[in-house]
C-alpha cells in the first residue's frame, strides 16, 4: 500500500510539474506574441501618421518639372523615428525593463522611366536616422531596410510586364515632355525597430523554447505619387 501511495505521489508531482512548466511556457509565448504585436502597432501607427506628398511640381526655365521633396522627407523621417522611440521607451519604462532599444528610419527614391514606367533602380540612399536607448544593441545603420527597398524597387506590375509596380500614370502631358506617361519617381519610407526584453521574468523560459529575447519589426510604406503644387 505504501509503495503504491509513493508511486502515486511521485506521478502526481511529475504531472503538477509538467502542468506548471506548460503554463509558464504558455505565458512566455503569450508575452512574446504581445510584444511582437505592440511592435507592429507602433510601426504601423507612426509610419502612416501625417503622410506627406513626396513629389512637387515646379516651373523651371519655362517648363514644368517634377522633383522629390527631399527636405520634407528628411523631416518626416526624423519625426517618425522620434515618435517610435518615445512609444518604445514609454513601454519599457512602464514594464520595468531596461531602456535598451533602437529605431532606424530612412526614405528611398526609385527612378521611373516616364515613358515606359520601368524601374531605373534606387537613387543614392539618404542618411539613416537613428535613435537609441542604452548601449547593448549594436548599430546597423538601416541595413535591415535595404532588402525591402530593393525588393519593392524591382517589383513589376505583372510577370509579363516590365512596368514597375510603383509607376504612377498621370495625365499631364505637358510635364517632362509630351511623351511622358508616368511620374519620374516613386518614394518609400521605412522604419526598423528593436528592443530587448531579456530582463523580463519569462526570458529564461523563452530561451528554453527557442524564442528570441528581442523584439523586432520592419515596416516599409510606398508614398503614392501625389504632387504638391
Separation CA 206–CA 137 (nearest Å): 19
Contact status, residue 77 vs residue 147, Cβ threshold 8 Å: no
Half-sphere exposure of 183 (CA within 13 A, CB side): 23
Taking the CA atoms of 170, 172, 177 and 179 in sequence, report the sign of the dihedral they define.
positive
Q: What is the pLDDT of residues 42-75, one digit of tens each?
A: 999 999 887 788 888 877 766 777 889 999 999 9
Look at 81 and 134; give whichever has higher pLDDT: 81
The pLDDT value recorded for residue 201 is: 47
Confidence bin at 195 (pLDDT 50/70/90): confident
Which grid cell is 156?
513589376
pLDDT average, residue stretch 187-215: 70
Give the best-scoring range by mean pLDDT among 3-12, 54-63, 104-113, 205-214. 104-113
The pLDDT value recorded for residue 12 is: 60
Is the pTM here over 0.85, yes or no?
Answer: no
Separation CA 151–CA 204 (nearest Å): 36
pLDDT of residue 181 exceeding 90, the answer is no
pLDDT of residue 203 exceeding 60, the answer is no
The pLDDT value recorded for residue 157 is: 82
The pLDDT value recorded for residue 223 is: 87
In a 10 Å sphere around its CB, with 0-12 CB exposed, 13-18 middle and 19+ buried, how is residue 173 labelled? exposed
The pLDDT value recorded for residue 59 is: 73
Helices (H) and strands (E) in the chain — how many of each? 4, 8
pLDDT average, residue stretch 199-205: 51
Confidence bin at 77 (pLDDT 50/70/90): very high
Separation CA 182–CA 154 (nearest Å): 16
Contact status, residue 187 vs residue 105, Cβ threshold 8 Å: no
Count of structural domains within the chain: 1
pLDDT of residue 120 exceeding 50, the answer is yes
What share of residues in the chain are helix, strand, coil (percent, to 5)? 40, 30, 35
Give the best-scoring range by mean pLDDT among 81-90, 170-179, 211-220. 81-90
The pLDDT value recorded for residue 99 is: 80
Separation CA 185–CA 117 (nearest Å): 10
Q: What is the pLDDT of residues 146-180, one digit of tens each?
A: 999 999 999 998 877 889 999 888 765 545 555 67
With left for phi above 0 and alpha for psi between -120 and 50, is residue 133 left, alpha or beta?
beta
Confidence bin at 191 (pLDDT 50/70/90): very high
Domain that includes residue 194, residue range: 2-228
Averaged confidence pLDDT in the chain: 78
Of 39, 21, 13, nearest to 209 by C-alpha is 21
Separation CA 184–CA 117 (nearest Å): 8
Least confident segment among 27-36, 44-53, 121-130? 27-36
Amino acid at each position: 500500500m505504501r509503495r503504491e501511495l509513493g508511486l502515486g505521489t511521485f506521478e502526481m508531482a511529475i504531472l503538477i510539474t509538467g502542468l506548471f512548466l506548460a503554463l509558464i511556457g504558455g505565458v512566455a509565448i503569450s508575452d512574446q506574441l504581445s510584444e511582437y504585436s505592440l511592435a507592429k502597432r507602433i510601426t504601423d501607427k507612426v509610419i502612416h501618421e501625417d503622410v506627406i506628398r513626396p513629389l512637387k511640381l515646379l516651373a523651371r526655365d519655362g517648363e514644368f518639372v517634377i522633383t522629390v521633396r527631399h527636405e520634407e522627407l528628411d523631416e518626416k523621417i526624423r519625426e517618425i523615428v522620434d515618435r517610435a522611440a518615445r512609444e518604445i521607451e514609454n513601454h519599457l519604462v512602464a514594464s520595468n525593463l531596461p531602456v535598451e532599444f533602437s529605431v532606424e528610419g530612412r526614405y528611398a527614391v526609385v527612378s521611373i522611366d516616364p515613358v515606359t514606367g520601368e524601374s531605373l533602380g534606387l537613387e543614392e540612399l539618404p542618411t539613416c536616422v537613428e535613435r537609441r536607448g542604452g548601449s547593448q544593441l549594436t548599430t546597423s545603420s538601416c541595413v535591415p531596410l535595404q532588402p525591402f527597398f530593393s525588393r519593392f524597387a524591382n517589383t513589376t506590375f505583372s510577370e509579363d510586364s516590365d512596368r514597375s509596380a510603383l509607376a504612377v500614370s498621370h495625365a499631364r502631358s505637358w510635364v517632362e515632355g509630351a511623351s511622358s506617361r508616368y511620374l519620374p519617381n516613386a518614394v518609400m519610407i521605412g522604419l526598423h525597430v528593436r528592443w530587448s526584453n531579456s530582463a523580463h521574468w519569462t526570458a529564461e523560459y523563452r530561451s528554453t523554447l527557442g524564442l528570441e529575447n528581442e523584439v523586432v519589426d520592419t515596416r516599409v510604406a510606398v508614398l503614392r505619387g501625389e504632387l504638391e503644387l
